[in-house]
Amino acid sequence: MLQKTSHFMRQANLINGEWVQADSGQTIDVINPATGLKIGTVPKAGGAETRRAIEAAEEAFKSFRKTSALERSKLLRKLHDAIMDNQDVLAELLTLEQGKSLTESRGEVGSSAAYVLWFAEEARRTYGDVVPSPWADRRILVTKEPVGVVAAITPWNFPSSMLSRKLGPALAAGCTAVVKPASQTPYSGLAWGALCEEVGFPKGVVNIVTGSAGEIGDELCTNPLVKKITFTGSTEIGKMLIQKSAMTVKKVSMELGGNAPFLVFDDADLDRAVQGAIAAKYRNSGQTCVCTNRFFVQEGIYDKFVEKLAEASKKLKVGSGLDDGVQQGPLIDVKAVEKVEEFIEDAVAKGGKIVSGGKRHALGGSFFEPTVISGAKSNMKFMKDEIFGPIAPVFKFKTEAEAIEQANDTEFGLACYFYTGDLGRAFRVMEGLKYGMVGVNEGIITTPEAPFGGVKESGLGSEGGYQGMTDYLDTKYVCIGGLGL
């Protein structure tokens, strides 16, 4: 097991088929959040290494773009198989650097493989059109072509699966890529390099650089060879990347922050709602962009819901992700814990009541207790800001209209959830919520078949679904004239 892990734990960057160190020889330490101990290092690369990676991707694009859709589909299917063959080892590596439970890591790696398989299938369906021509002697074709070199920047919360939604469609379309994984969790990203090599993607098709986010990001955004930036992370950094990419008019896909509301109506199946709430709140210790940020519960079942949610949250087993049966691992670092504490202090100062949890876990480090706060009010910080931690603030509402208004009162628009037993209400609320994704009586909804993406300041574009390919393809209109018909 350990030997296999070290095979995937690459402490080097992949540029043009070579595993290399930073020009300066400098490295960044990678820390296990469960122990605070160093796992290893990765190169601290900057602009020069990134430029070489982009040039390698551009060179590789010249031939990769000419491969047939079937060839790329077969390579992606092999990649899917390689991921699944190594699911346990890759999951262990993910837990080591990220902290989430092994169960969740296996799920994430499985999800990565599922996205790759989906895009292996979609690769063969990038159809164009033959459009009825207004001219008797001309024909109109519309074709799809890969955009070119794609830059992918990914976050630490899903270091494996976020890449599958970017590399999957990029490779399916015939693009080449330069990837920058988050510095906290680089190994799961670098492992994609080892896997792509293993299954036979040509050198330079996938390049991976780690290091200074600012320097690497600047090069990726300003280098004219890069035709598309795909990013998952904070809205703040996303806005900056859009601005920087504007000078070379790159395509951009942005999966940014969320502020997911979770509405529970009096007519809901309460136990189902609580079960969904636990999954939608505490998965990955609350560190996902689709995690519930605000619960809105109708007054008739408010007390019962709070009681059941608190009860269920207390049962969650907190510990090192590698230990058996653990459901909630540590937060990514102590800074994240301090941020969670600020949210709680603010809520308590404004009259919120801690019903369960509320403090650092007895295990120490960056472990935090799953927390439920009742009496949440709209002047509390979590009304507007993303918590990214295991706190469940519960607001009370009276009417459907009021619940929709409060749920929409945010600049974000990624995921939202609601529970009701009334069909008419289900449609009214679904249509009233200004979000890119809606779970009706479901707390976990992500799947490769469906388009994942936000509206408002939560992002641009979709990942997954047939829509997930479109941003990696240029549309070309071809007019064939002089046919003499």
Please report, as ranges, the residues that interact with ligand ADP according to CB under 6 A. Answer: 153-156, 180, 182-183, 213-214, 217, 233-234, 237
Q: Please, which residue, 213 or 363, has the CB nearer to ligand ADP?
A: 213
289 is annotated as an active-site residue:
yes
Alpha carbon distance 427, 445 (integer Å): 17
Alpha carbon distance 181, 2 (integer Å): 23
Q: Please, which residue, 223 or 298, has the CB nearer to ligand ADP?
A: 223
Catalytic option among 289, 369, 386, 416: 289
The partner residues of 255 in beta bridges, in order of sequence, read 232, 459
> What is the smallest separation between the CB atom of 349 and ligand ADP, expressed in angstroms?
25
Q: Please, which residue, 389 or 468, has the CB nearer to ligand ADP?
A: 389
> What is the smallest separation between the CB atom of 451 and ligand ADP, expressed in angstroms?
21
Q: Please, which residue, 234 or 248, has the CB nearer to ligand ADP?
A: 234
State how far the alpha carbon of 326 is from the alpha carbons of 31, 100, 322, in Å: 20, 9, 8
Catalytic option among 55, 219, 255, 369: 255
Strand 18-20 and strand 13-15: pairing?
antiparallel
Q: Please, which residue, 156 or 382, has the CB nearer to ligand ADP?
A: 156
Alpha carbon distance 327, 340 (integer Å): 19
Query: Rounded to 5 degrees, what are φ and ψ at 70?
Result: -65, -45
Residues in CB range of 162: below 8 A, 6 or more apart: 154, 155, 232, 255
> What is the smallest separation between the CB atom of 247 and ligand ADP, expressed in angstroms?
15
> What is the smallest separation between the CB atom of 331 and ligand ADP, expressed in angstroms?
12
442 is annotated as an active-site residue:
no
> What is the smallest separation between the CB atom of 314 and ligand ADP, expressed in angstroms?
28
> What is the smallest separation between the CB atom of 387 and ligand ADP, expressed in angstroms?
12
Residues in CB range of 65: below 8 A, 6 or more apart: 145, 146, 148, 174, 175
Q: Please, which residue, 44 or 180, has the CB nearer to ligand ADP?
A: 180
**Considering only CA atoms, which of 268, 326, 210 is closest in space to residue 443?**
268
Alpha carbon distance 180, 214 (integer Å): 11
> What is the smallest separation between the CB atom of 256 and ligand ADP, expressed in angstroms?
8
Segments of 250-345 assigned E as strands: 251-255, 260-264, 292-298
**Where are the alpha helices (H) located in 327-399, listed in sequence order?**
334-349
Q: Please, which residue, 213 or 426, has the CB nearer to ligand ADP?
A: 213
Neighbouring C-beta atoms of residue 425, cutoff 10 Å = 16
Q: Name the one residue in this structure whose structure tokens are 């690769």.
A: 123
Closest residue by beta carbon to ligand ADP: 217
Neighbouring C-beta atoms of residue 379, cutoff 10 Å = 11
Give the residue numbers marked as catalytic. Answer: 255, 289
